[in-house]
Amino acid sequence: MVFQGGTGGTARLKAIRQAELHSLEPDEVASTLEAGIEGETTQIILERMDRGKEGWERLLVDRLRLKHYQWKTEQTYRDWANRFVQWRGKVGLDGASAEDVKGFLTYLASERDVAASTQRQALNALVFLFREVLGEEPGDLSGFQTSRRPTRVPTVLTEAECMMLFGELDGMAQIMAKLTYGAGLRVTELIRLRIQDIDFDRGIVTVRAGKGGKDRVTVLPEALKVPLSRHFIDLREVYERDREAGVPGVWLPSVVEHKIPKAGASWSWQWVFPSRQLAVDPRSGVQRRHHVSDAAFQTAIRKAADKAGIAKRVTPHTLRHSFATHLLRSGHDIRTVQELLGHAKVETTMIYTHVLNKPGVSVRSPLD
């Protein structure tokens, strides 16, 4: 059965249910939909792991993977789609319209008090759901209540507090923390670093597919060159053992996997911060070595801050905030800091100037 574009969301849902009744996999429906929408027969690689329970969710997963969305984005979009379905109650996606989307977004702002960025994330996920699963444009989405949560000044550590924090860490966790601070990395950028992304000779760290899918370079701290070199020696031993044991190569971006299928087993593509244990890839079902989880690193930072007696809420992102603030305080121009952080707009970087500037800085307190 082949479906033509513009059949509408209800028709798609009926097709998925009909396929389920006839013991057809929803991915087969996705394949025929793909052929009808794009006008060409496209062979979709069917991943059998963690593809959702409902037919519409499996189709959502197929579309996300066909368009090569990151795993974290896939999880986020699936989560918002499920929340939307639960919010609508027993009717599920039947008859879903732009008014339902606006109602859900208003609910998030008024009753859940989510941040504006969270509300935008939900909007993006639902637009994708309508276009790619229901096969229709969501229509006019203006007029919903937007989130008005005030902007908060970021938490920043002093240089001394950073050293205290590092002192409560050791091994790979300490290197990760120092690199987060020393290069101004987001936690996802840190854990996804590959061996080839560290350039000791040029003193740079290359961030690939960062926020917004953009690449950038940032500074590799001189103080980390020796510890990282020693860390690489240890990694090489793990790498050699994995190859001898026949462990499949690490996960690769789909473009690289298609062009260089064996790259995952090469040294240059290995993770800089790998997990100690092998794990099953949720997309392919292959057991391989993945990078360390962000949750484990966040927990290590939080515990280290408690041990150091730092009376602030400290997360890995706090180190990135501290990197930017300390650079600006030392006299580096804001455009340079913007590029190192990977901010699309300088206005985003400007928030750190509020941390630097004390109210009434030129006024002497009467207590003094």
Catalytic residue ranges: 186, 211, 317, 320, 343, 352
pLDDT score at 348: 83
pTM: 0.74
pLDDT score at 323: 95
Three-state DSSP at 207 gives strand
Instruction: Return the half-sphere exposure (C-beta side, CA atoms, 13 A cut-off) of residue 98.
Output: 9
pLDDT score at 190: 97
CA 82 to centroid of chain Cα atoms? 19
Contact, 130 vs 136, CB < 8 A? yes
CA angle 214, 59, 7 (to 5 degrees): 105
Please state, in angstroms and as integers, the Cα–Cα distance from residue 237 to each residue in 56, 172, 225, 233, 272, following that order: 45, 15, 19, 7, 13
pLDDT > 90? residue 266: yes
Three-state DSSP at 187 gives helix
- Token pair of 31, please? 């394949």
| Torsion angles phi and psi, residue 206, rounded to 5 | -100, 120
DSSP letters, 142-156, are TTPPPP-PPPPPPP-
pLDDT score at 205: 96
Q: Please write the tens of the pLDDT for every residue from 203-222.
A: 999 999 888 778 999 999 99
- Window from 17-31, 227-241, 269-283, 292-306 with minimum mean pLDDT: 17-31
Residue type, 141: L
Neighbours of 62 (CB within 10 A): 25
Domain ranges of the chain: 9-134, 159-355
CATH classification of 9-134 is 1.20.120.1200, yes or no? no
pLDDT score at 24: 40
Q: Cα(first)–Cα(last) distance of the chain, in Å?
A: 82
Rounded distance, CA 174 to CA 234, Å? 15
Rounded distance, CA 293 to CA 175, Å? 15
Domain 159-355 architecture: Orthogonal Bundle (1.10)
Helix axes 316-329, 159-167, angle to 10 degrees: 150
Q: Which of 326, 324, 313, 303 is nearest to 160 (CA)?
A: 326
Q: Please write the tens of the pLDDT for every residue from 168-206.
A: 999 999 999 999 999 999 999 999 999 999 999 999 999
Segment 63-91 mean pLDDT: 91
DSSP assignment letter at 134: I
Q: Please write the tens of the pLDDT for every residue from 46-62.
A: 344 667 778 899 899 98
